[in-house]
Structure 1
Amino acid sequence: MITEKAPGKLYIAGEYAVLEQDCPAILVALDQYVRVSIKRSASDTGLIHSKQYSQDSIHWVRQGSKMVIDNRDNPFEYILSAISFTERYCLEKNVKMDVYDLFVNSDLDSADGKKYGLGSSAAVTVATVKAILHFYGVKATKDLVYKLSTISHYSVQGNGSAGDIAASVYGGWIAYQTFNKTWLAEELAAKRLSDVVSEAWPGLKIQELVPPEGMDLLVGWSQQPASTSRLVDKTNANKKNLKAEYAKFLEDSRNCVLKMIKGFEENNIKLIQKQIAVNRRLLQHFAAINNIAIEIPRLTELIEIANKFGGAAKTSGAGNGDCGIVIVNQDTNVDLLRREWLKNNILPLEFHIHHSELTF
């Protein structure tokens, strides 16, 4: 039995803008994992099994009179896509195919099955790609795992930046800029998969960051799950109507995140904390012009409590639920902050930074 794991992630800054090229975001990988185990099947029938996902709901939308199934929140879609693309890559490398059983286990949901918003679809995709490459004895680099996982994930989700994939593969703190999606679609249509994953992808930047000494990350959970893909759909639909305001949001977000990256490079916690507050205001304005709820009341409470105790806090990811993040320094009274959260039905999560290493 071979077991591979991939960590969950949280966005620190740059959400929504990161969907566009040349707009960086900062993410962090956490020590909560999806594990995928794989072994050769004892028969000519393979099995895919997951404790968490066996009862997963199916979402659908109405398009005119048609009922259209939306499977983007169904982890099995990502597992099947990861198998398909990874096996295609292996076949192009003349690897003989076999039949196997795949077992999936996840820490990325709460005990009662609610999602924390740690990027479970990205992590299950990455862990599946790693497991299959390992099973077939194919040498893997982080770049290969990132690219196969991104192609697999994007073929299901159809939107997103793949920043969560990058965090899951590279680990630690990263600055991330997305690739040219039109270029990738054209390359995949014209070339072999193995050629596409060996190319440099225009626009893609992944930079590993070292946090300043004395800086720590706190995570609070609103206990209200959210759907990233549907929020992104809504904002994507508004882009043409908000052309000038959207361009300004992108520019402001880019400047904010670049200053934050400078804070990492210069060991300057105060600069990072200041830009967290700036990014929060940018996202509040972005939510207002798009008529969406990013900072729901429970998250506002989480942020205001953290700010009161000297932290710098904001929503993480698409918002509308899930988690908030706080950048703290050695002067922050973390125990009091967490106690205040608990009094207000905000759950402090005892997560730590995951530093990635390929195990094969």
Structure 2
Amino acid sequence: MIETRAPGKLYIAGEYAVVEPGHPAVLVAVDRCITVRLTAGSQMGKVHSTRYGHGPVTWVRDADGQIVTDRSPYDYVTATISVMEKLRAERGLAPRYFDLHIDSELDDEDGRKFGLGSSAAVTVAVVAALDEFYRMGLSLTERFRIGLLATVEVAPRASGGDVAASTFGGFVHYTSPDRQELRRLAASASVEQVLGSAVWQDCRISQLGPLAGLRLLVGWTGSPASTERLVERVQHQAAGSPGRAGGNQSGPDADYQAFLAGARTGVEELVAAWSREPAVVLRVIGSFRTLLQGLGRLRGTQIETGQLGALCDLAERCGAAAKPSGAGGGDCGIALMPDGRDPGTLLARWRQAGILPLGLNPYPAQQETREASR
């Protein structure tokens, strides 16, 4: 049996802006995980998960070697299997069937998502399991790229920040590639060609050190939100405002361009102050709360719900800086509290307000064992 684990994630700063190619964000991988256990199979493959109900999803290969499942819609697990099977065929490795058993720590007892990036975590864990099963020897960078290839087949707007955090662990400074171009290339090129193409040239992933002088606290509002639906509402590229780094700032959606510019500046300030200036980090986190509030008003979308607002307000009264994490609309908020302050008061006040402290810690950073082959 092969067993792999991949952590969930939280956004520290840069959410929404990072969906635009070339825009950065900071994320943290957290110590709740998806676990995938792989066993060799025969005649067909099976995927066992509580998300599929009572029975497993089964899959076979058709005459052309394509993956055919007994259910729809196409999901992250089957998309990941398909990409890895294409790469396996390109490398001349013999096809084999296998069963996957998937367990999650990223939901509550009723199966409600905490908003910790379970889709990315399961994608990364499946890539790692099949890498080991077929003995491909992929680098972390190659695993990330394969994970993003699979992800954009299911969610074309996904930035890939969650895939990067789940792959590399720790605190991650991430800049997104052009996923539309990635999908166009993937439709006509081999997986090997995509892995080594120039489409990744604007994608940057670097690991930040520990967050000095500050403690990360996480609260869950109990209201799961759909990231894809919220991003679709917010992301709007008006004529003359392509939403790219260096794009036209004078188009009809100049307010959105101002949001992107503010987010870029904020991430740059955050990274520069990360390990040296806790006071600057706190100020920047507070500014991101304001940025997200403004974006919500601009798009007529409630990013900071009443519960998230209460989470942030209570944290600020206790001397911390706080903001929604990720798409908002529910799910999680984060607070950064200076060392030396007792977090117990804030955690108690969160509980009184119906906000569940999650007790998360950063997942250890992972190191490349070799350079990407391409």
TM-score, normalised relative to structure 2: 0.87
Give the equivalent residue in structure 1 for 2:65.
Answer: none
The residue matched to 2:235 in structure 1 has which SS? helix
Give the equivalent residue in structure 1 for 2:196.
Answer: 198
Q: Provide the rounded CA distance (Å) in 2 between the counterparts of 1:344 and 1:168.
A: 30
Give the equivalent residue in structure 2 for 1:133.
Answer: 131
Q: 1:33-182 maps to which residues of 2 (within 5 A)? A: 33-41=33-41, 43-54=42-53, 77-182=75-180
Runs of 4+, deviation exceeding 4 Å: 237-242
Q: Provide the rounded CA distance (Å) in 2 between the counterparts of 1:75 and 1:257.
A: 36
Paired residues, number: 341
How much is the aligned-residue C-alpha RMSD, in angstroms? 2.0
For residue 115 of structure 1, what is the amino acid of its counterpart? K
Change in Cα spacing, 1:110 to 1:55, as seen in structure 2 (3 Å) is farther
For residue 106 of structure 1, what is the amino acid of its counterpart? S
Shift of 1:211: 2.8
Give the equivalent residue in structure 1 for 2:220.
Answer: 221
Of the three residues 263, 266, 270, the one matched with 2:273 is 263
- The alignment status of 1:346 with 2:355, answered yes or no, reads yes
CA contact (8 A) 1:212 1:268 kept: no
CA contact (8 A) 2:22 2:178 kept: no
- The alignment status of 1:308 with 2:317, answered yes or no, reads yes
For residue 117 of structure 1, what is the amino acid of its counterpart? G
Deviations 1:41-72 (A, max 9, x none): 1x42321111344279xxxxxxxxxxxxxxxx
Deviations 1:104-160 (A, max 9, x none): 111010111111000111111111111111111110211111000000010011112
Shift of 1:185: 2.9
Q: Provide the rounded CA distance (Å) in 2 between the counterparts of 1:349 and 1:290.
A: 30
Give the equivalent residue in structure 2 for 1:287.
Answer: 296
Change in Cα spacing, 1:354 to 1:175, as seen in structure 2 (3 Å) is same
103-112 vs 206-215, greater mean Cα deviation: 206-215
Q: Percent identity?
A: 36
Give the equivalent residue in structure 2 for 1:12.
Answer: 12
Shift of 1:189: 3.3
Q: Provide the rounded CA distance (Å) in 1 between the counterparts of 2:43 and 2:76.
A: 23
The residue matched to 2:274 in structure 1 has which SS? helix
Change in Cα spacing, 1:108 to 1:358, as seen in structure 2 (3 Å) is farther
Of the three residues 327, 337, 350, the one matched with 2:336 is 327
Change in Cα spacing, 1:44 to 1:212, as seen in structure 2 (3 Å) is closer
CA contact (8 A) 1:315 1:323 kept: yes
For residue 270 of structure 2, what is the amino acid of its counterpart? M
Shift of 1:91: 1.0
Give the equivalent residue in structure 2 for 1:273.
Answer: 282
Shift of 1:22: 2.9
